Structure formats: C-alpha cells, structure tokens
C-alpha cells in the first residue's frame, strides 16, 4: 500500500456542548494539505474534543468537517484514515518504539519496507530518531 495523499481539512461552525458547557463553540479552521499544525491552549479549551471529532470518536452537535471535498461527520472512525494517540495512551510494552509507531501501518497491510521508512520519518519528525529499538 502506498502512502496516502494528505487532504486539506476544512472545519466550519463546529459546535459540541455538554449540557450548558460548550467544548467547541462554532470553530472554523482550515488546514492545508501537508501543513503541520499544533493546537495549544489551557486545559478545557476544546483541543481534545476537536481532535476526537476529527477522528470520529465524538459527534459534534453542529457544523461540518471536510477532508478534501468529502463531508466526514457521518463517516465511521475506521474509514477516516486518521491515526490518534489518546491522552491516556496505551503502548504495547512487549513491542519496541518503532513497532508501536508502525502498528497502524501493519493493520493497513503496508509493506515492511514502506513501514520502516514511514516510522523512521515519523520518529525523526519528533526528534526521536535512533530510539526505535
């Protein structure tokens, strides 16, 4: 399987409330294809809720999330092609760092050579190159 082309992400009017508390209140955001973005804010500002909505684990009350031209609000998480590491992450303690990072690629049946390259690239990106084993 080849590396998937990153699609632009368009978020429009995204709202998620829990009772009277708005975790997301009409959020608008454009992320270009290949762009690297960091969400920064205090606890309770909606960062995790936004990411959970992108991944499909939280259903927004209103708004739109598009990957390219496709509206994905109703798409199940396993069909979105989004990887996510949860805050209360669970690593496989019997596996190396590289094996943990590459596990989603294994599930997608990515070739061993491509997985090794993508894992090495990912580790370099977060300044963990050389720590795979």
Residue 2 lies in a domain: no
Residue-wise over 66-98: b if at least 16 C-beta within 10 A, else e? bbeeeebeeeeeeebebeeeeeeeeeeeeeeeb
How much is the pLDDT for 84? 74
Same domain, 70 and 114: no
How much is the pLDDT for 2? 40
How much is the pLDDT for 90? 73
Same domain, 74 and 116: no
Highest mean predicted confidence (pLDDT) among 12-16, 35-39, 110-114, 120-124: 12-16
Contacts of 9 (CB under 8 A, 6+ apart): 29, 30, 31, 54, 65, 66, 67
Same domain, 96 and 74: no
Distance between CA atoms of 27 and 22, rounded to whole angstroms? 11
When divided into structural domains, the chain yields a total of: 2
Residue 74 lies in a domain: yes
Give the tens place of pLDDT for each residue, 85-97: 666 667 788 999 9
Distance between CA atoms of 27 and 46, rounded to whole angstroms? 10
Give the tens place of pLDDT for each residue, 30-76: 999 988 888 999 988 999 999 999 999 999 999 999 999 999 999 99
How much is the pLDDT for 1? 35
Are the beta carbons of 72 and 80 closer than 8 angstroms?
yes
The rounded Cα 30 to chain-centroid distance in angstroms is 15
How much is the pLDDT for 64? 97
Residue 122 lies in a domain: yes
Give the tens place of pLDDT for each residue, 2-32: 446 678 999 999 999 999 999 999 999 999 9
Same domain, 68 and 96: no
Residue of higher predicted confidence among 83 and 96 = 96
Q: Range of 58's domain?
A: 9-79
């Amino acid at each position: 399987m080849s590396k998937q082309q990153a699609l632009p992400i368009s978020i429009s009017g995204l709202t998620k409330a829990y009772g009277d508390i708005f975790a997301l209140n009409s959020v608008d955001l454009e992320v270009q294809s290949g762009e690297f973005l960091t969400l920064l804010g205090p606890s309770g500002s909606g960062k995790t809720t936004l990411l959970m909505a992108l991944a499909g684990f939280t259903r927004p009350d209103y708004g739109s999330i598009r990957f390219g031209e496709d509206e994905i609000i109703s798409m199940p998480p396993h069909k979105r092609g989004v990887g996510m590491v949860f805050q209360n992450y669970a690593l496989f303690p019997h596996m190396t760092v590289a094996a943990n990072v590459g596990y989603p690629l294994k599930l997608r049946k990515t070739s061993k050579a491509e997985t090794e390259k993508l894992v090495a690239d990912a580790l370099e990106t977060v300044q963990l190159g050389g720590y795979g084993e």
